[in-house]
Amino acid sequence: MSGTVAAVSRSASHSFSKDNHQIIYLREGLGVDADAHAGVTVQHRSRVARDPHQPNLRQVHLIHAELHQELRDAGFHVSAGQMGENITTQGIDLLALPTGTRLRLGDTAIIEITGLRNPCTQLDQLQPGLMAAVLDRDADGNLIRKAGVMAVVLASGPVRPGDPITITLPPAPHHPLQPV
């Protein structure tokens, strides 16, 4: 299984959207250089307020470009980085990956998927109705969160648009992603 990096984004401030760049650097155990969410402990404001000492399982946020297309088809105007992601992927069903899946991005960077992004109401500030558009229900009525996945950095390295992504699944049994 493989895919490609469609875009890379970061923001030094806690702004919701992130600016696109030609390259970002992932740092082992920290996240994206010069990104407000990088750190050993949690950096998301709501989570810091609850417990500033909890580990940062949300060092890198990934969204699949196919979600952007689905949202554009539904009438939303979204592009890479606008929904707060650091890495936009192409050709990978991120939501179907099990917890602990490793992604090699380019030549050296490796991340491990920790869970699902739990969409927040800031999406509606970007565009009204966007939060509802990234939530769905399966045939059994279970909530499906489509706003991407979160990861931690296992090996440092640069990541650029066009870089290959190689997927390594964890040993079985596989566990479905849960919000982190």
Q: Could you state, in order of their start, the residue ranges of all structural domains in the chain? A: 2-168
* Averaged confidence pLDDT in the chain: 95
Q: pLDDT tier at 52 (50, 70, 90 boundaries)?
A: confident
Q: Is the pLDDT of residue 28 over 90?
A: yes
50/140: higher pLDDT: 140
- Assessment of whether the complete model's pTM goes beyond 0.85: yes
2/176: higher pLDDT: 176
What is the mean predicted confidence (pLDDT) over 72-98? 97
Taken as a whole, the chain contains a residue count of 180
* Per-residue model confidence as pLDDT tens digits over 115-158: 999 888 899 999 999 999 999 999 999 999 999 999 999 999 99
DSSP string, the chain: -EEEEEEEEE-SS--SS-EEES-EEEETTTEETT-TT-SSB--SHHHHHH-TTSB-S-SEEEEEHHHHHHHHHTT----TTTTS-SEEEES--GGGSPTT-EEEETTTEEEEEEEE----THHHHHSTTHHHHTEEE-TT--EEE-S-EEEEEEE-EEE-TT-EEEEEPPSSSP----B-
Amino acid identity of residue 49, one-letter, is A
| Long-range contact pairs involving 133-136 (C-beta distance under 8 Å, separation at least 24) | 133/71, 133/74, 133/76, 134/67, 134/71, 134/83
What is the mean predicted confidence (pLDDT) over 41-64? 88
What is the mean predicted confidence (pLDDT) over 59-65? 98
Q: pLDDT tier at 170 (50, 70, 90 boundaries)?
A: very high
Q: Is the pLDDT of residue 58 over 90?
A: yes
Q: pLDDT tier at 50 (50, 70, 90 boundaries)?
A: confident
Q: How far is CA 92 from CA 53, 63, 125, 148, 158, in A?
A: 32, 10, 28, 11, 20
Structure-block tokens of residue 12: 């030094």
User: Is domain 2-168 given the CATH code 2.40.33.20 in the classification?
Assistant: yes
For the CA atoms of 151, 152, 157, 163, the dihedral, rounded to the nearest 10 degrees, stands at: -10
